[in-house]
């Protein structure tokens, strides 16, 4: 029994050592950080901020959250990507490139302006509300792809029933972003970007027979690291906006200072 306890303690110690196993990074964190810096460091447009509107940026995949054991009713990607797109547009060039007008909550905005008019009329105030700002460009698109298990694998080794193992899985999310002219309806620019999503599991296993093979002892410890899907969607949107701005400059839709 003392021998068994000693081996279990040794297994727990080895399990702690398993935590230093390097997590494979299909897309290093430096790449995502570089794209974020490119978004913030975009040059300003020479003609002032570009006024854009976002009516929606929906999940067009219909993909449910992947699960190997049971049916999952949760969606694989965020249903609020329009909020991420608006925030990212406002962050471009540190807030100096795009001016975003509210269109997702246009109905609420219109009702509130109507209430203001009615209230002013009821008290005899003839002050007129200023006209709403209109956009010259509409940002369209959405999340168009979510591919599960595009890459799976693992590795492990045991000696005398003791050893570590690693398993990993890669998913890919794809988004499309289009800049549409309000005056002509022409699609000025269309870009698509992808971002990998990595899940990695590390474990340490102990398995031994005792007393001439009549008794067995088994123990396993481990952990799993899942890259957040929302983080991947945000990174893909940031990359799409950087590409869209650069293409717009090359096509002379705007000029940099």
> CATH topology for 2-250?
Rossmann fold (3.40.50)
Residue 244 has pLDDT above 60, yes or no: yes
DSSP H helical ranges for 138-228? none
What's the mean pLDDT when you consider all of the chain? 83
Higher pLDDT, 61 or 178: 178
Task: Report yes or no: 4 and 161 within 8 Å, Cβ to Cβ.
Answer: no
Residue 31 has pLDDT above 90, yes or no: no
Measured between alpha carbons, how far is 188 from 75 in angstroms, rounded to an integer? 31
The per-residue pLDDT for 11 is 47
Residue 23 has pLDDT above 80, yes or no: no
The per-residue pLDDT for 92 is 95
**Averaged pLDDT, 220-239:** 87
Residue 136 has pLDDT above 60, yes or no: yes
pLDDT tens sequence across 76-127: 788 889 999 999 999 999 999 999 999 999 999 999 999 999 999 898 888 8
**Percent of the chain, pLDDT > 70?**
83
The per-residue pLDDT for 13 is 44
The per-residue pLDDT for 232 is 87
Residue 20 has pLDDT above 70, yes or no: no
Lowest-confidence region among 34-48, 52-66, 151-165, 235-249: 151-165
What are φ and ψ of residue 102, in 5° steps?
-75, 120
**Averaged pLDDT, 51-65:** 88
Residue positions counted in the chain: 257
Residues 6+ apart with CB under 8 A from 222: 15, 18, 201, 202, 203, 204
Task: Report yes or no: 167 and 200 within 8 Å, Cβ to Cβ.
Answer: yes
Take residue 237 and report the two structure tokens written for it.
Answer: 């949107």
Measured between alpha carbons, how far is 111 from 108 in angstroms, rounded to an integer? 5
Take residue 82 and report the two structure tokens written for it.
Answer: 């329009």
User: Burial letters for 207-225: b for 16+ Cβ neighbours within 10 Å, e otherwise?
Assistant: ebeeeeeeeebeeebbeee
The per-residue pLDDT for 238 is 94
Higher pLDDT, 148 or 10: 148
Lowest-confidence region among 49-53, 148-152, 170-174: 148-152
The per-residue pLDDT for 4 is 46
Higher pLDDT, 225 or 50: 50
The per-residue pLDDT for 69 is 60
Q: Please, which pLDDT band fits residue 164 given cuts at 50, 70 and 90?
A: confident
The per-residue pLDDT for 26 is 46
């Amino acid at each position: 029994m003392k021998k068994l306890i000693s081996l279990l303690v040794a297994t727990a110690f080895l399990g702690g050592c398993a935590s230093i196993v390097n997590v494979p990074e299909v897309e290093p964190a430096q790449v995502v950080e570089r794209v974020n810096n490119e978004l913030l460091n975009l040059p300003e447009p020479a003609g002032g901020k570009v006024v854009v509107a976002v009516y929606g940026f929906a999940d067009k995949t219909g993909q449910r959250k992947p699960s190997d054991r049971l049916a999952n009713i949760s969606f694989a990607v965020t249903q609020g990507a329009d909020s991420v797109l608006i925030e990212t547009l406002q962050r471009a060039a540190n807030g100096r490139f795009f001016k975003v007008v509210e269109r997702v909550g246009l109905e609420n905005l219109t009702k509130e302006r109507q209430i203001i008019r009615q209230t002013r009329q009821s008290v005899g105030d003839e002050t007129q509300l200023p006209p709403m700002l209109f956009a010259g460009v509409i940002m369209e698109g959405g999340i168009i792809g979510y591919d599960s298990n595009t890459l799976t694998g693992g590795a492990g080794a045991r000696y005398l029933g003791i050893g570590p193992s690693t398993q990993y899985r890669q998913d890919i999310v794809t988004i499309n972003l289009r800049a549409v002219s309000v005056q002509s309806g022409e699609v000025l620019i269309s870009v698509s970007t992808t971002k990998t999503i990595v899940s990695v599991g590390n474990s340490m296993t102990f398995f031994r027979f005792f007393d001439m093979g009549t008794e067995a002892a088994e123990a396993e410890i481990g952990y799993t690291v899942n890259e957040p899907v929302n983080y991947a969607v945000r990174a893909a949107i940031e990359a799409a906006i950087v590409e869209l701005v650069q293409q717009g400059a090359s096509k002379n839709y705007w000029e940099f200072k």
